[in-house]
Amino acid sequence: MTTPTKEGSAAVQARRVLVLNSGSSSVKYQLLDMENRSRLAIGLVERIGEETSRLLHTPLTGGAATRERMGRIADHEAALKAAAEELAADGLGLDSPELASIGHRVVHGGLRFTEPTVITEEVLAEIERLVPVAPLHNPANIIGIRTAQVLRPDLPQVAVFDTAFHTTMPEYAARYAIDVETADAHRIRRYGFHGTSHAYVSRKAAELLGRTPEEVNVIVLHLGNGASASAVAGGRCVETSMGLTPLEGLVMGTRSGDIDPAVTFHLTRVAGMSVDEIDVLLNKRSGLVGLCGDNDMREIRRRIDEGDERAALAFDIYVHRLKKYIGAYSAVLGRVDAVVFTAGVGENSAPVREAAIAGLEEFGLAVDAGLNAVRSGEPRLISPDYARVAVAVVPTDEELEIAGQTFALVERLGRTAQPGQAEPLGRVDN
């Protein structure tokens, strides 16, 4: 893409994309060069608004070391300005004509946003309208977008939605079996999350198998602190484990995953707990941390090695849930070409992979102990040659996926698009 310089004379190639992932008290950022899909710098601002804010910035060109800034960073605007200063110090200033766009991770796009979308006031209003179904995430994403708009009002900014990849789920998978009028009035349905990761990893898995995404059916297990499974048929998501919110499904670091909804009525009536208390219980004090006090799989494995029974039970519950989903999604897909592990636990924990696949020979699944033990940052197969279904580890890269989708969209739009004038290219479904 070509863009005029500030002087309006010689043209330069605008091939950089800044990816922003704004949380309630943190901002993660990466600057990528889409010419060769390489990272130029990465950074994180955490504990925004506290006295102990911290910025960590790592330039990835020129061999400079990570820099740290400690001390209060008042708000997201200050955080982004501090990040911009760090980038400028590396000669990667955000005022550069080489910056093509800013891509924002937006957690909830509802049913409307099925594709990456150029952010207009109308798009922002719709993201705002979805706050009741994503109260923790969407407000932080909106603040990140507003701040970035102040920084570079001339640039097209793009929202890439965590829910988008799952909008292809058939109605019978997405709907809860509750009263239809109530569900529709409050937009209650299964949306799914981690969509950029499921999209990226399922595509990479097809590549690893030497096939096109259209040719393969895969089960993706995104096992990070948050965890979700998806069934992807011919490149399209047909089922996923997270629902209206990221609470449903697998056992996670601090979230319960699937649970009988009557537990909430029971806790209200019997334990006198408020809705907010139950919300905190299920989202923050459950999952691995609720079961054994630790949510880091490394620590849990260490405790198991020392004979800790609570840690062992937590591990077994975690793995049992995974197995149930592998079985269920095998049935949903009919034919499975690969089961793919990704994210912090999936990429690094050989014991979790081994235990999740153990006993599934009848499903055509097996893990080769030697291959499973290899540590690598590359996509790789860990199943033996004889296995009918491949088992793979594919490192996820949500930032690269967001940058790629953002860049592809602004390239299609061309530089004529200005914020506020551009039409969202996303298919509008409601």
Residue 26 and residue 44 in contact, taking contact as beta carbons nearer than 8 Å: yes
224 is a contact residue toward ligand AMP (CB under 6 A): yes
Tell me whether residue 348 is annotated as binding: yes
Helix/strand/coil percent split, the chain, to 5 = 40, 20, 40
**Interface region with ligand AMP, contact rule CB under 6 A, candidates 63-71, 302-310, 344-352, 387-395:** 344-352
Residue (22 or 330) nearer to ligand AMP, CB: 22
354 is a contact residue toward ligand AMP (CB under 6 A): no
The CA distance from 318 to 328, in Å, is: 16
Residue 249 and residue 257 in contact, taking contact as beta carbons nearer than 8 Å: yes
Tell me whether residue 204 is annotated as binding: no
One of 249, 344, 395, 424 touching ligand AMP (CB under 6 A) = 344
User: Amino acid identity of 210?
Assistant: G
The CA distance from 424 to 421, in Å, is: 9
The CA distance from 62 to 157, in Å, is: 28
In which region does residue 203 sit, left (phi positive, over 0), alpha (psi from -120 to 50) or beta (all else)?
alpha
283 is a contact residue toward ligand AMP (CB under 6 A): no
- For ligand AMP (CB under 6 A), the number of binding residues is 12
Tell me whether residue 345 is annotated as binding: yes
348 is a contact residue toward ligand AMP (CB under 6 A): yes
**To the nearest whole angstrom, how small is the minimum distance from the Cβ of residue 228 to ligand AMP?**
11
CB-facing half-sphere around the CA of 259: CA atoms within 13 A: 21
One of 53, 295, 383, 406 touching ligand AMP (CB under 6 A) = 295
Residue (279 or 296) nearer to ligand AMP, CB: 296
Q: Residue 65: is it exposed, middle or buried by C-beta count within 10 angstroms (0-12/13-18/19+)?
A: exposed
Neighbours of 417 (CB within 10 A): 18
Residue (330 or 372) nearer to ligand AMP, CB: 372
Tell me whether residue 214 is annotated as binding: no
Tell me whether residue 138 is annotated as binding: no
Residue 243's contacts (CB-CB under 8 Å, 6 or more residues apart) are: 176, 189, 190, 191, 192, 249
The token pair that represents 224 in the structure block: 């990070």
Tell me whether residue 45 is annotated as binding: no
Phi, psi angles (nearest 5°) of residue 28: -105, 140
**To the nearest whole angstrom, how small is the minimum distance from the Cβ of residue 246 to ligand AMP?**
12
388 is a contact residue toward ligand AMP (CB under 6 A): no
The token pair that represents 253 in the structure block: 């670091």
Contacts to ligand AMP from residues 232-271, by CB under 6 A: 253
> What DSSP state is assigned to residue 377?
S
Residue (49 or 224) nearer to ligand AMP, CB: 224
Contacts to ligand AMP from residues 4-33, by CB under 6 A: none
**To the nearest whole angstrom, how small is the minimum distance from the Cβ of residue 280 to ligand AMP?**
19
Phi, psi angles (nearest 5°) of residue 166: -90, 0
Tell me whether residue 226 is annotated as binding: yes
The token pair that represents 311 in the structure block: 């840690």
User: Which residues are the active-site residues?
Assistant: 162
Tell me whether residue 141 is annotated as binding: no
Residue (224 or 379) nearer to ligand AMP, CB: 224
**To the nearest whole angstrom, how small is the minimum distance from the Cβ of residue 410 to ligand AMP?**
28
Residue (126 or 294) nearer to ligand AMP, CB: 294
* β-sheet bridge partners, residue 43: 29, 57
Residue 283 and residue 247 in contact, taking contact as beta carbons nearer than 8 Å: yes
One of 343, 390, 393, 394 touching ligand AMP (CB under 6 A) = 343
One of 107, 297, 304, 393 touching ligand AMP (CB under 6 A) = 297
List, as residue ranges, the binding site for ATP: 28, 222-226, 296-298, 344-348
Residues forming contacts to ligand AMP in the complex (CB under 6 A) are 224-225, 253, 295-298, 343-345, 348-349
Known binding positions: 21, 28, 105, 222-226, 296-298, 344-348, 398
Q: Residues at the annotated binding site for substrate? A: 105
